[in-house]
Structure 1
Amino acid sequence: MKYGCQAEFKLWPLGLLIAFVTSFFGVVFASPASINIHPGDIDDEVSGKISIAGPMANMVLALVFIAIAALIYPFKIYSNIFNLIYLISTVGFSVNSFLATFNLFPIYSLDGTKVLKWNIGIWIITIAIAGIMVLIAITIGAENMVSLLIGA
C-alpha cells in the first residue's frame, strides 16, 4: 500500500496438486498459490522491497517464537499449558525459519527472485541469516537452542 500497489492471492492448481501428492511421501512440498502485485509495472527496487517483507516477517516471527520459548522454558514443568506454549513456540521458530529460507530461493515466482534482481547484497545477507536459522533448527534443534540461550 505504501507504493500504491494492491496484492492478489492467486491459486496455483498445479502447486496444490504437488502438495497433495508429496504428502503421501512423508514430506509436503507446498506452493499452492502466489501473491500477484498490481500494478505489475513497478520497478525492481519497489518489487524487491515488497518481496523481502514476507521472509523478513518470517524471520522476526521465528525470533519472537524462540524468545517466548526461552521465557516459558522454566515454567513448562509446572503446567501443561506452559508446556504446550513452549512446544508451539519451538515449532514456530523452526517453521518460520524454513519459510523465510524457502521463499528466498530465486526460483519461479518466489520472493528470492525479485529480491536478487533488486539487490544481490541484500539477498545474500538475508538468505544467509535465514539459512543459519534453519541450520540451527535442523542441527541443534529449537529445544536445545533454548537451553543454550538460558544456560540450563
Structure 2
Amino acid sequence: MLEKMTRREEYDLFAAWLAISLSFAIIKLAPNGILRSMQPVDPVEALTYLVIALLTAGIGLVLHELAHKFTAIKFGFWAEFRKNNIMLLAAVALAALVGVVFAAPGATVIYSVRPDGRTLSREENGKISASGPITNLLLCIPFAGLLIMSGPSALSSGDILTQIGIFGIQINAMIATFNMLPISILDGNKVLSWNIAVFAVLIVASFAVLVGSFYII
C-alpha cells in the first residue's frame, strides 16, 4: 500500500508530523506558552516531551490521514494528503505564544471521480471520513496497554512509558472527538450525513474515552 504514496505526500506528512509534534511538545513543556513562561527551558525535558509528542500526537495525526487515504483507495478513488503551510506555522506559533494547539495541518484530498467516471457516494464518503476517528480510537488500545504493563505504581512515578501511554490516549481521543464534531468539513458532518447510528456511536465513544483519559492521572 505504501507504494501508492507520492514523494510529495511523504514530505507533506513528515512536515505535518514534525510541526504537530513540536506544537504539543511546547504545550507540555510550557502550558501557557514558552514566551509567557517564567521558567528556563530544560533541554533534556524539552527533548523528552518532543519524543513523547512524536510517538503520540504525530503518529495519531499521520495514521488518521493515512486511514482516509487508503479507505478512499479501497473504493477506487485516488487520495493524497496535502499540508497547509499557514496552518502548520499557526499551530507552532499558537503553542509558543498562548499554549494552544489548533491541529489542522492539512487534509487528505480525495479525487471524487474514478477513472471509470463513477463519483463518490454519500456512503463511501461517510466510511472514508469515519476511518480517521476510528483509527485514533483503536490507537488508544496499545497506549492503554503501556499503562497496564507499567502497573499502578507507574502512574505516580511519571516514567516516560507511562507518559507516552497517558498522552497517547488523551491526544488520540482529542483528535477523534474534534474530527467527529458535526460541523463544516470535519469528518463528523460527513458521517452524520451517511449514517446517524454510526455517527452517534463514534462521537459518544470519542467523548467517553477523552473524558475518561483525564481520570487516569
Q: CA deviation at 1:33?
A: 0.3
- What's the CA shift string for 1:29-68, capped at 9, x where partnerless? 1212011112353011001111111100100111221122
Give 2:210's aligned amino acid: V
- The letter for the 2-side match of 1:71 is M
CA contact (8 A) 1:104 1:127 kept: yes
Deviations 1:72-99 (A, max 9, x none): 226849xx9x932122111101111111
Residue 122 of structure 1 corresponds to 198
Aligned alpha-carbon RMSD (Å)? 2.3
The residue aligned with 1:100 is: 176
Aligned to 2:8: none
Pick the aligned partner of 1:2 from 64, 74, 77. Answer: 74
Q: Which runs of 5+ in 2 are unaligned?
A: 1-72, 114-118
State how 1:3-152 maps to structure 2 within 5 Å.
3-23=75-95, 24-40=97-113, 41-73=119-151, 76=154, 83-138=159-214, 140=215, 142-143=216-217
Once residues 110 and 36 of structure 1 are traced to their aligned partners in structure 2, the CA distance between those partners, rounded to angstroms, is: 13
TM-score, normalised with respect to structure 1: 0.79
Give distance in 1, aligned partners of 2:89 and 2:160: 32
What residue identity is the alignment partner of 1:12?
A: N
Residues 111-150 of structure 1, C-alpha deviations (whole Å, 9 max, x = no match): 1121111111210111011001111123x1x33xxxxxxx
Q: Is the 8 A contact 1:34 1:109 kept in 2?
A: no
What is the number of residues matched between the two proteins?
Answer: 138
Q: Show structure 1 runs of 4+ deviating over 4 A.
A: 74-77
Which residue identity lines up with residue 4 of structure 1 in the other structure?
A: G
